[in-house]
Structure 1
Amino acid sequence: MKFKIIIFLFLTTLPGITLLAQNSTSSPYSGFGIGELEMSSGGRNAAMGQTGIATRSSLFLNTANPASLTTIEPQSFLLDMGFNLKYTKLENSSKSVNVTDGNISWVQIGFPITKKIFGGFSLNPKSSVGYSIYSAKTIEGTSIKYPSIYEGTGGLSEAAALLAWKLSKNISFGAKTGFIWGNVTQTMNQSIGVSSTTYELAQEDKTYYSGGYFNLGTQIIIPVNSKSSIILGGIAGISSKLNAETSTTITKTYSSTSEVVSSDVKSTNSMKLPLDVGAGISYLYGSKWVATIDVKQSNWKNATIDYNPNKLTTNNSYRFGMEFSPKDDQRSFRQTTKYRMGYRYESGYLKLYNNQIHEQAITFGVGIPIRKDRSYANFSVELGTRGTTAAHLVKEDYIKLNCSFNLWDKWFIKRKFE
Structure 2
Amino acid sequence: MIKKLGLVFIALFAIQSYGQNGTASPYSFYGIGSINFKGSVENRSMGGLGVYKDSVHINFQNPATFAGNNLEGWNGESRPVKFTVGGSATSSNLKSDTGSDKSKSANFDYLALSVPVGKFGFGFGLQPYSSVGYKLESRDSEDKMDYRYTGEGGLNKVFLSLGYQVNKSLSVGIQADYDFGNIENNTINFGYNTEGELLQYQTKEYTRSDLSGLNFNVGVHYQEMITDKLELQASATFTPQTDLTSKNERTFSTITVDTETETEFIFNDLDADLVSSNLEETDLTLPSKFSFGAGLGQPRKWFAGLEYTTQNTSEFFNPLYDNVGASFEDASKLSFGGFYIPEYNSLSKYWKRMTYRAGLRFENTGLNINNQAIKEFGMSFGVGIPVGNMFSNANIGLEFGQRGTTNANLVKENFVSFQLSLSLNDRWFIKKKYN
Same fold, TM exceeding 0.5? yes
**In the alignment, is residue 69 of structure 1 matched against residue 48 of structure 2?**
no
Work out whether residues 16 and 107 of structure 2, in 8 Å CA contact, stay in contact via their aligned partners in 1: no
In structure 2, what is the equivalent of residue 285 of structure 1?
A: 298
SS of 1:205's equivalent in the other structure is: strand
**In the alignment, is residue 116 of structure 1 matched against residue 129 of structure 2?**
no
In structure 2, what is the equivalent of residue 409 of structure 1?
A: 426
- Cα distance, 1:400–1:94 mapped onto 2, change above 3 Å: same
In structure 1, what is the equivalent of residue 6 of structure 2?
A: 6
- Cα distance, 1:18–1:185 mapped onto 2, change above 3 Å: farther
Work out whether residues 82 and 107 of structure 1, in 8 Å CA contact, stay in contact via their aligned partners in 2: yes
TM-superposed CA distance for 1:410, in Å, is 1.4
Whole-angstrom CA distance in 1 between matches of 2:123 and 2:380: 27
**In the alignment, is residue 348 of structure 1 matched against residue 350 of structure 2?**
no
In structure 2, what is the equivalent of residue 222 of structure 1?
A: 224
Whole-angstrom CA distance in 2 between matches of 1:412 and 1:230: 29
In structure 2, what is the equivalent of residue 374 of structure 1?
A: 391
SS of 2:408's equivalent in the other structure is: helix
**In the alignment, is residue 86 of structure 1 matched against residue 90 of structure 2?**
yes
The alignment of Structure 1 onto Structure 2 pairs a total of residues equal to: 410
Which residue identity is paired with 1:192? Answer: G
Work out whether residues 183 and 209 of structure 2, in 8 Å CA contact, stay in contact via their aligned partners in 1: yes
Matches within 5 A, 1:20-99: 22-52=20-50, 54-71=51-68, 73=70, 74=78, 76-99=80-103
1:120-165 alpha-carbon deviations (Å, 9 max, x no partner): 0121111111111122346xxxx79563211111111011000000
- Cα distance, 1:9–1:363 mapped onto 2, change above 3 Å: closer
In structure 1, what is the equivalent of residue 342 of structure 2?
A: 326
- Cα distance, 1:19–1:209 mapped onto 2, change above 3 Å: farther
- Cα distance, 1:257–1:109 mapped onto 2, change above 3 Å: closer
Work out whether residues 238 and 289 of structure 2, in 8 Å CA contact, stay in contact via their aligned partners in 1: yes
1:332-372 alpha-carbon deviations (Å, 9 max, x no partner): 52221000000001111200111110001110110000113
Which residue identity is paired with 2:58? Answer: L
TM-score by length of 1: 0.91
In structure 2, what is the equivalent of residue 335 of structure 1?
A: 352
Whole-angstrom CA distance in 2 between matches of 1:339 and 1:244: 43
1:18-38 alpha-carbon deviations (Å, 9 max, x no partner): 899742211110000110010
Q: How much is the aligned-residue C-alpha RMSD, in angstroms?
A: 2.8
1:379-408 alpha-carbon deviations (Å, 9 max, x no partner): 011000010000000000000001100011
Whole-angstrom CA distance in 2 between matches of 1:205 and 1:158: 22
Work out whether residues 22 and 128 of structure 1, in 8 Å CA contact, stay in contact via their aligned partners in 2: no
TM-superposed CA distance for 1:198, in Å, is 3.0
- Cα distance, 1:6–1:72 mapped onto 2, change above 3 Å: farther
SS of 2:66's equivalent in the other structure is: helix
Any unmatched runs of 5+ in structure 1? none
- Cα distance, 1:366–1:127 mapped onto 2, change above 3 Å: same
TM-superposed CA distance for 1:111, in Å, is 1.1
Work out whether residues 76 and 408 of structure 1, in 8 Å CA contact, stay in contact via their aligned partners in 2: yes
In structure 2, what is the equivalent of residue 258 of structure 1?
A: 267
Work out whether residues 72 and 112 of structure 1, in 8 Å CA contact, stay in contact via their aligned partners in 2: no
TM-superposed CA distance for 1:414, in Å, is 6.9
**In the alignment, is residue 181 of structure 1 matched against residue 180 of structure 2?**
yes
In structure 2, what is the equivalent of residue 297 of structure 1?
A: 310
Whole-angstrom CA distance in 1 between matches of 2:25 and 2:281: 25
State the identity as a percent: 27
TM-score by length of 2: 0.87
TM-superposed CA distance for 1:262, in Å, is 3.1
SS of 1:391's equivalent in the other structure is: helix
